[in-house]
Amino acid sequence: MAIHFISDLHLADDTPALNQLFLDTLAAWRGRIAALYILGDLFEYWVGDDDDSSYLEAPLAAMRAFAADTPLYVMRGNRDFLLGAGFEARSGARLLDDPTLIEAHGQRILLSHGDALCTDDAAYQQFRAMSRNPQWQQAMLAKPLAERHAIARHARAQSEMNKQQTGLTAISDVTETAVRELLAAHDWPTLVHGHTHRPAHHLHDASSRWVIQDWHNDRGGYLRLNEQGIAQLPLS
């Protein structure tokens, strides 16, 4: 059976159509694929495993049901980097390190969210290093839940404003140097990532790189890996 890869769903309390698309997709794929890998930014933001937002009940329950039949893996993204053991218990998913190397259907596939490869964005890389620091995370998680939500909403609004002003710029894309260094460190496998919202297939010497399509409202895409290789497909 095929393995599917998705990324950048950005589920939130104000994205009901998108949330339903995720539920429908899990139901369609449950028991019919070998495994599902979600490579970051499953949620628009994740303020901690104690988040009791009502919109989370349906997707987490659907993930538990899915994982009972089909292996389910989730990688942290730049929006949901606080996913932890509590999330694993609530969703049935297994969290992956970034990057993670897997072997399937005769191929070596290196999985990453992709944000660490955007090395031209120095300001973001500084934030990324800070936000992955265990002490910083402990201090954030020690704040009241309401305060964490307020911080996340502010960061989300700031991000949306920046995107409206600048759009997709070169600084928000991966750099060739970072990609080549990562591929070389793992003996040149095929790289699969999301984050950039630029779905494409790129060649890098003896390796290739697949960028997964993001999801938005009632559309999205995924990568399928089977005996024939990798293909980028729209959700049906």
> Is the CB of residue 173 less than 8 Å from the CB of residue 198?
yes
According to the annotation, is 195 in a ligand binding site? Answer: yes
> Is the CB of residue 201 less than 8 Å from the CB of residue 210?
yes
**Looking at this protein, which amino acid is placed at residue 156?**
R
Joined together, the tokens standing for residue 231 give 């293909």
According to the annotation, is 54 in a ligand binding site? Answer: no
| Among 2, 3, 78, 4, CA closest to 234 | 4
According to the annotation, is 236 in a ligand binding site? Answer: no
According to the annotation, is 121 in a ligand binding site? Answer: yes
According to the annotation, is 159 in a ligand binding site? Answer: yes
> Is the CB of residue 191 less than 8 Å from the CB of residue 112?
yes
Q: Spell out the alpha helix ranges (H) of the chain.
A: 16-29, 57-69, 85-91, 122-131, 134-141, 145-166, 176-185
Residues 6+ apart with CB under 8 A from 21: 215, 218, 220, 235
Backbone angles phi, psi at 3, to 5 degrees: -105, 135
| Among 79, 82, 78, CA closest to 43 | 79
Q: Which conformational region is residue 229 in: left (phi greater than 0), alpha (psi within -120 to 50 degrees), or beta?
A: left
According to the annotation, is 105 in a ligand binding site? Answer: no
According to the annotation, is 10 in a ligand binding site? Answer: yes
- Which residues contribute to the annotated binding site for Mn(2+)? 8, 10, 41, 78, 113, 195, 197
- Which residues contribute to the annotated binding site for substrate? 78-79, 121, 159, 163, 195
- Which residues contribute to the annotated binding site? 8, 10, 41, 78-79, 113, 121, 159, 163, 195, 197
